[in-house]
Structure formats: structure tokens, C-alpha cells
Structure 1
């Protein structure tokens, strides 16, 4: 696979903390064996879930956001490797494939002042290059009959996840997005705020549900655009569920599932929807960690769940002594999905 840095057994051993009397995920998770063809191993290995990292924040910069999402992948891997392998969740259900090689793009982006709006086009062009790699590798994973779990980067990568899955399936797919923002903004060049609108416009996204929009941070133009496509694009708001309590969280889960479950759907989780989690658009108000964990479990149980994407977490923006907590949260979300979705053959 082009532009993929394969994660090796040696890499895994370095981040696994061995302890007498315990078995860690890092001792059981699979990696691509040395001299083995990655495509062949993907198709034949026992693991159902494939971890893929995207250590970039170019899409966030192109959206005039705070960089830092590049660090989520490595941060999360350390936490995942040190989970307990037991009867509740087993490490050998997961293959760590590796990370998309974005080093050259990141280096180029470092020299671009992302706070100047006139530089957005330069950054958008770099996002398009990453789009191609995400599309290609996610498509390979899905075509091999596996379920990708994509970690890191900005929400711009939803586009490649959707397109890659749709191409592998041979038809458009649906998506459910747990997010404070729609990421359904105008087609003004690729960035973290329009991954879903590009996928929709290009015919890769069929139905879309945004769960938990923050009313005060959603523009009139986006609401007008959603209204024009209301048969295919639906949403609820965080405010209506948790503040005015006009709607019920459990009922809304069912409504959202009814909208997307008829076809394969991607499960998108934006960590900036959770209070006090270090992210590019950190919030003080939002759903709880327990609610997002239940959300993932609820949708993960459906056998049309085609992938999980956890994005926008930015450990680099956390307090120094608490940087590991973003990775620990991601580890919880990954295992919640695997526990819900896994069926013994």
C-alpha cells in the first residue's frame, strides 16, 4: 500500500507495558508480519477490526482551527496496547495496520500561516492529497472484509472514509456523526468543516444524520442547506435533548438509526462534542463521556456499521500532566465498538 507506514511487532512491543500475571492487548493484537504482503495478510488474518492512524492537522488549519490533532494516533495507541486482554474484549480481534504517511504534507503546512484566510487554498490542496490516501487505504481494508477503526486527524478525513467505503462496497453509504458541528459547509476547498458536504455532492454519501448539533454554533446558511436536503440529511440538537429537554436521548438514538440503518453506514465521532476534552474546538458544554460510549455501543451493535472514525482529539492541547487522557478516552471508545459489533463465527 502506497503512503502507508506499517506498524510492526517491534513498534508494538515498545509501547506495551508488561506486567506479571496480566495479558495486555499489546501482547495479542496483530501486526503485518515482516516480508508479508499487507494486502494478502489483510484478507487472511483472523482480526476483524483494523486500526489506521492519520497523524495530521492540516484540515483543521485549513478551517482556521487550532492544530494539535496530529498527536491523537500515537497517544491512543499507547493506551490501547495496555488494555487488559480478557473475556470482555480480546486483543487478537484487532490488527494494527499503521499510519498514513503525511510527514511531507505536514512539513509543508508548517510553513503556511493558517490564520491568514488567503492561505486556505494552499492548505486545501494538501488536504486533497491526504484525501486520496485515506480513500485508497480505507477502501483496501473494507474490500478485504474488515472493519476500519480510524483514529486521529481532523474531521476532514470523513470524506476519505466515506468515499473509500463506498467505492469498496460499490454503492453510496450512509453516515451518523456525533458532533457539535455539521461539517456540512459550502464547497470552498477541502477542510475539516466540509468533509460530509463534499462526499454528499460527489455521490458517495447517501443519507446523513448529525447527532447533537450545538444551536449557537450552527450557521443559518448550513441550516438552510440541510433544509433543502431534509429527506436525506437530518439532525437533532444537543440543546433540544439536554437543555430544553424537548427530546429524549434514547428516542433520538432510535430515530437516527432508522435514518441510516437501511444501508452500510459510517460511525463518526468528533471529540470536540465532549466537555473539557482537548480538541481543536474544545467546548465546556456537551454530552458526557458515558453518553458517547453508549452512542457507539448502540450503533456498533448494528451489523451495517461499516467503520468507526474518532477524530479531532488533540493531546498536544491538553495540560502536560494529562495528555494521556485523550488516548485513554479513545481506547474506551474503540473497545466499546468492538464489544458491540463483534460476533463469534
Structure 2
């Protein structure tokens, strides 16, 4: 836990806009006191959800993407702290753990050029270092019987989420990925485009479903690979559902869920699947925010939903006047997940 920067009561107070007659999440979410051991506290506390951030964009850089995802955590936690605490959703259900300290890795990546083979190799090595920290932290949270809510960072962190959950459970897990891309690219060194293929190859990922793949942005080689392992990895495409209308969104939710529901599964959300969201790979065509929220609620409403990871948002790539909106969106997605999980538990 030495790479964890814990959130404090003071940190929460600074980002919460207190207003008379209102109660905000920032006034009700709890943090782990400095003098207490993280593992012991998580095992004893009554809160189910553990929130933390991974403020990095190294995996994105290594995948030829635009940096900026490192800014999502700070942006999101400010918005989350100012959600209204009420009977629909309670901030008191959440432990704000803090963020992974990736400052050294972020400093090392500055000045590296992904067009340079040696620099790209160095980026991949830095991603591997972060992988280890993410998987350790996720395993710790899951072993304590809690539900991780992870804010990235790049989608490279899916690997650590999957590995950590698998290690905590002692067996491979399943995953559902709401994404325009498969992130099942070749094992060419770690980056944001191959978190799932590495997890699959190393035996941490069992069944994997990609929801809403964009047909024009998936390579022939990836499609061929997916066809060869369709007993374990399946997908539908955005074009099938919302353009040609060959498939129905609600029915596809059920089909995808049937493929993963019999084991613990992670919910992976890549914000580049939503139009006009500032990301490393921003799109102009895709599912709506409302469809994404319904997706999260649907998959969160099952006891085998083990974690949620929201990634690839890049507030620093947005217009200055609107760069708070990604954090606000993440707040909606997190509360949808919490409401779904609490409903199934009750």
C-alpha cells in the first residue's frame, strides 16, 4: 500500500461546496483514518463501495493516443463530492480510498516519443509497473469483501482490475466491456489497447464480451482472432444495433449477460464509446449517455458484478468552460452502479 495516496477528511472538505439546507456526498463519504491499517479497516467497515483513482495516461501514450486521461480522477472526485446525498443514493455507502501514486512513472514518460521503438518499450515497461500496483490494490479490496469503483486513467488498467479480482477469487473472472474498440490487440508490450488480450493469455480472463464494437475501427486481424475464440470471447457491434437495427439494444443486454453471469465479472466502461466526450480516441458516433447508464444499471444489478472501471475520459482535452462535465458524467455512472448493486443486495 506504499503507492497509495490516501484521501483525507480535509481533502473531502476542500472539494465539497457546502450549502445550507443541503447534504452532499462529500459530507457523508468516509475516508480511512491515517493511523488505521487499510486492510483491517476495509474488512470491518460497513460500507460496500471503495472508490479510487489512477491518474495516468502512459498506456494511452504507448498506444499512440492523445494524453489527458490522467486528469479524470481529480475532475471526477470533485463532481462526486457534490452529488446530493438523499434517499435515492447515499454518499455514506462509499469509502474514498484515494489514488495510486504514479507521479514517478508520469515523470519518466515525459519527453518519450511513441514513434521511437525504444521509447515505446520504456512506456510499456512503465505500464507493467502500474499493472502490478493496480492488481495488488484490487485484490486487497475484493478480498476484504468490498466492491471497487475505479476511475482511470487509460484502459490499460483493465488488466490490473481483472488480474487482481481473479487472484482474490482464486480463479479467472469474466468481463463485459462497453467500448468502441476490442482492446484485444496483439501482445506487443503493454498499452491501453491490449489489457484484455494479456489478461486472457495469462489465464485471468475467462469469458469476455465486447458491447458495441465499431466496425470501421476494428482491424481484420482482430476480427479473425475473435472468430477463432468465439467460445470465450464474443461481441456485438454498434452498427448492428443502432445503425442497421439488426439487433435490439435490450435483447443484446440479455445475450451479453447470459455469456458472463455465471461467474464474477467486471464492468469496464470506455468513455470513447460516447459521442463528443473528450477522450484519447474521441468519436462523433456512438451510444447515448442514457444508453450507457441503462447498460451500467442492467449489469450492476447482479450479485456477480464485482467491480466497475470507468476510463479514457480526458477533461484536459475538453473546452475550458466544459471540462467539468466529464467528472459530472462519471458521477452519474457511479451512482447508477451503486443503486443497482444496493437494489440486488436488498
TM-score (norm 1): 0.99
Could you tell me which residue of structure 2 aligns to residue 282 of structure 1?
282
Distance 1:282 1:116 in 2: 24
Could you tell me which residue of structure 2 aligns to residue 156 of structure 1?
156
Could you tell me which residue of structure 2 aligns to residue 100 of structure 1?
100
Aligned residues, how many?
A: 345
| Deviation of the 1:117 alpha carbon | 4.7
Distance 1:185 1:39 in 2: 35
Do the aligned residues in 1 keep the contact of 2:165 with 2:173 (CA within 8 Å)? yes
Write the deviation string for residues 130-171 of structure 1: whole angstroms up to 9, x where unpaired.
Answer: 000000001000000000000020000000000000000110
1:253 and 2:253 are equivalent in the alignment:
yes
Write the deviation string for residues 260-297 of structure 1: whole angstroms up to 9, x where unpaired.
Answer: 00100000000000000011100000000000000000
Could you tell me which residue of structure 2 aligns to residue 68 of structure 1?
68
Do the aligned residues in 2 keep the contact of 1:60 with 1:191 (CA within 8 Å)? yes
Computed over aligned residues only, the root mean square deviation of the Cα atoms, in angstroms, reads 0.9
SS at match of 2:59: helix
Output aligned runs, 1:112-123, within 5 Å.
112-123=112-123
Could you tell me which residue of structure 2 aligns to residue 168 of structure 1?
168
1:321 and 2:332 are equivalent in the alignment:
no
| Deviation of the 1:111 alpha carbon | 2.3
Structure 2, unpaired ranges of 5+ = none
Structure 1, unpaired ranges of 5+ = none
Could you tell me which residue of structure 2 aligns to residue 17 of structure 1?
17
SS at match of 1:150: strand
| Deviation of the 1:39 alpha carbon | 1.1
Write the deviation string for residues 289-338 of structure 1: whole angstroms up to 9, x where unpaired.
Answer: 00000000000001100000000000000000000000000000000000
Do the aligned residues in 2 keep the contact of 1:64 with 1:117 (CA within 8 Å)? no
Distance 1:78 1:59 in 2: 24
Could you tell me which residue of structure 2 aligns to residue 201 of structure 1?
201
Write the deviation string for residues 57-95 of structure 1: whole angstroms up to 9, x where unpaired.
Answer: 000000010000000001000000000000000001000
Do the aligned residues in 1 keep the contact of 2:135 with 2:161 (CA within 8 Å)? yes
Output aligned runs, 1:39-188, within 5 Å.
39-188=39-188
1:311 and 2:320 are equivalent in the alignment:
no
SS at match of 2:302: coil
Do the aligned residues in 2 keep the contact of 1:56 with 1:106 (CA within 8 Å)? yes
Do the aligned residues in 1 keep the contact of 2:68 with 2:316 (CA within 8 Å)? yes
| Deviation of the 1:119 alpha carbon | 2.1
Do the aligned residues in 2 keep the contact of 1:42 with 1:141 (CA within 8 Å)? yes
SS at match of 1:342: helix
SS at match of 1:5: strand
Distance 1:220 1:120 in 2: 24
Distance 1:142 1:10 in 2: 27
TM-score (norm 2): 0.98
SS at match of 1:149: strand
Distance 1:116 1:309 in 2: 30
